[in-house]
């Protein structure tokens, strides 16, 4: 085999290696993007569960604390905003953060009504809601980890070359609002 044959084989191996690398990098980005989507779906499942618990919780509190109508209406309005369709990740996160804050106010009402705090149905709903909130927190953490991996793969060299060609966009983190980072103030009457 002559020099041109060796150069041709080396050139073919380099081109083939580059194509294999390109395909592997692209497939990795697709897998990370899909993991991000699946992680968001897990958050959505837990949020749906929370949204389903809220009407029962509001109805239970209403029986004991009728004059707390403002708090109950705020929770109901926040739930409506959180379940509205067509929200992007950032808007959805903001709506869910507002709902979380309003739910905190609703649960604080129980402190002022001993008969409500002792109600079996309220206690059961409160436990279910607490468990769901824990699952939401875990799902958000997992989602943010998936977004971080996806974004890092897109921004790191040489993956950034393939990401630009493949139309990959940065994922959005599920972040707490500024007010959600502060300690919750519970007032007893």
User: Can you give the pLDDT at residue 148?
Assistant: 93
User: Can you give the pLDDT at residue 189?
Assistant: 39
User: Can you give the pLDDT at residue 13?
Assistant: 92
User: Can you give the pLDDT at residue 183?
Assistant: 45
On the question of a cis peptide bond just before residue 144, with omega within 30 degrees of 0, the verdict is: no
The answer to whether 36 and 145 are in contact (CB under 8 A) is no
| The model scores a pTM over 0.75 | no
For 31-52, write each residue's pLDDT tens digit.
Answer: 999 999 999 899 889 889 988 9
- Cα distances (angstroms) measured from residue 52 to each of 48, 57, 82, 122, 158: 6, 9, 12, 15, 45
CA atoms of 188 and 105, how far apart (whole Å): 12
How many other C-beta atoms lie within 10 A of the C-beta of residue 112? 14
Helical axes 89-112 vs 3-64, angle rounded to 10°: 30
Question: Which regions of the chain are under pLDDT 50?
Answer: 179-189
The answer to whether 44 and 85 are in contact (CB under 8 A) is no
User: Can you give the pLDDT at residue 127?
Assistant: 87
């Amino acid at each position: 085999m002559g020099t041109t044959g060796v150069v041709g084989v080396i050139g073919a191996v380099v081109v083939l290696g580059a194509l294999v690398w390109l395909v592997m990098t692209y497939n990795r980005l697709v897998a990370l993007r899909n993991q991000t989507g699946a992680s968001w779906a897990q958050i959505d499942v837990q949020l749906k569960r929370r949204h389903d618990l809220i009407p029962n919780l509001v109805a239970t509190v209403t029986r004991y604390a009728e004059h707390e109508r403002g708090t109950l209406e705020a929770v109901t309005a926040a739930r409506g905003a959180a379940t509205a369709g067509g929200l992007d990740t950032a808007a959805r996160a903001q709506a869910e953060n507002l709902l979380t804050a309003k739910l905190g106010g609703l649960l604080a009402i129980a402190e002022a009504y001993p008969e409500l705090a002792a109600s079996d149905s309220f206690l059961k709903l409160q436990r279910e809601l607490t468990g769901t909130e824990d699952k939401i927190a875990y799902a958000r953490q997992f989602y943010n980890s998936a977004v971080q991996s996806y974004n890092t793969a897109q921004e790191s060299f040489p993956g950034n070359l393939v990401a630009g060609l493949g139309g990959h966009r940065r994922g959005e983190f599920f972040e707490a609002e500024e007010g959600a980072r502060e300690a919750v103030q519970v007032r007893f009457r």
